[in-house]
Structure 1
Amino acid sequence: MPTVSMLDHLVLTVADLQATIRFYEDILGMRAVSFEPADGSTRWALSFGAQKINLHPADGPFDPKAALPAPGSADLCFLSDRDLDEWRQHLQAHEIRIEEGPVRRTGATGPILSLYLRDPDGNLIEVSNALHS
């Protein structure tokens, strides 16, 4: 049976493209990049590490798309090498409310310590540190 090996990208449907870009650049340190798919349109993505998040505007999502694309329906966890105390200070300086944390959770490769916050669309964002045994 064939199997998949990794996630290449995911898509967020967003209400306000520029507000989303500002949040993910200023708060999470991602980089907004434009790209032109085969149809010749200009689209936007958020780049970080070897991953990217494609952005689809809610008022004109691109085909093909999710069955029910909607802003605020995602729950994303990002790993960081920076201590969560540094994240807490950074978030407070930008007046971003921490919904929960730090709390212990289980990530894809083991235990993590997480802070929870929301992006401009209300997506749940988890910023985590890997915990070593």
Structure 2
Amino acid sequence: MECLLDHIALNVEDDDRMLQFYTEILELPSERLSAYRAGKVPFASVRLNSNTIIDLFPKTLWGKQPGQQRGLLNHLCMAVSKSQWQALHERLLEYQVAIETGPVPRWGAHGQGISIYFRDPEGTLLEARYYEAKSQDRECLLDS
């Protein structure tokens, strides 16, 4: 079976701060933001690509549900073009977002890429990567 990733839902504490990070620093377009601000929908989202969004669940959605908590997501990786990656790297530095790791070579869905790792305002580890070309190398570099 081959699937497309539809969405990722993040439980967030400060939705305004998270929306600002994802829309201004990462430059992802918001989805349903006006409807969310007007109270017509329970959460806003940001769009990664034509197939995938990140839902930002405010604490009112998850804070009172038994068994619901933050955590368990190791990291989220976004593949972008090299020029977008370079521009993002510059914005992260401009906004004083710490680069935790990288640039480093890492294995991903399209082979070997170059990645940087950083966190959003609530601590979710994000990876931004670009691929120079389609890699035929199948060596996994998770431990590197």
TM-score by length of 2: 0.75
More helix by share: 2
Partner residue, 1:29: 27
Counterpart Cα distance in 2 of 1:102 and 1:126: 10
How do 1:26-65 residues align onto structure 2 when only pairs under 5 Å count? 26-34=24-32, 41-50=41-50, 51-61=52-62
1:97 aligns with 2:119: no
Partner residue, 2:76: 76
Indicate the percent of aligned positions where both proteins have the same amino acid.
Answer: 27
- Taking a change above 3 Å as real, the CA distance of residues 72 and 21 of structure 1, as seen in their structure-2 partners, is farther
Q: Residue 70 of structure 2 aligns to which amino acid in structure 1?
A: A
Q: Is the 8 A contact 1:110 1:131 kept in 2?
A: no
Instruction: Give the CA deviation at 1:33.
Output: 1.6
Q: Is the 8 A contact 1:72 1:123 kept in 2?
A: no
Partner residue, 1:19: 17
Instruction: Give the CA deviation at 1:130.
Output: 1.1
Q: Residue 15 of structure 2 aligns to which amino acid in structure 1?
A: L
Instruction: Give the CA deviation at 1:16.
Output: 0.5
TM-score by length of 1: 0.80
Partner residue, 2:109: 108
Gaps of 5+ in 2: 136-144
Counterpart Cα distance in 1 of 2:120 and 2:46: 13
Root-mean-square deviation (Å): 2.7
Question: 1:86-114 CA deviation, whole Å, 9 max, x = no partner?
Answer: 33322111111111100000011211100
Counterpart Cα distance in 2 of 1:80 and 1:90: 15
More strand by share: 1
Aligned length: 127
Q: Is the 8 A contact 2:82 2:131 kept in 1?
A: no
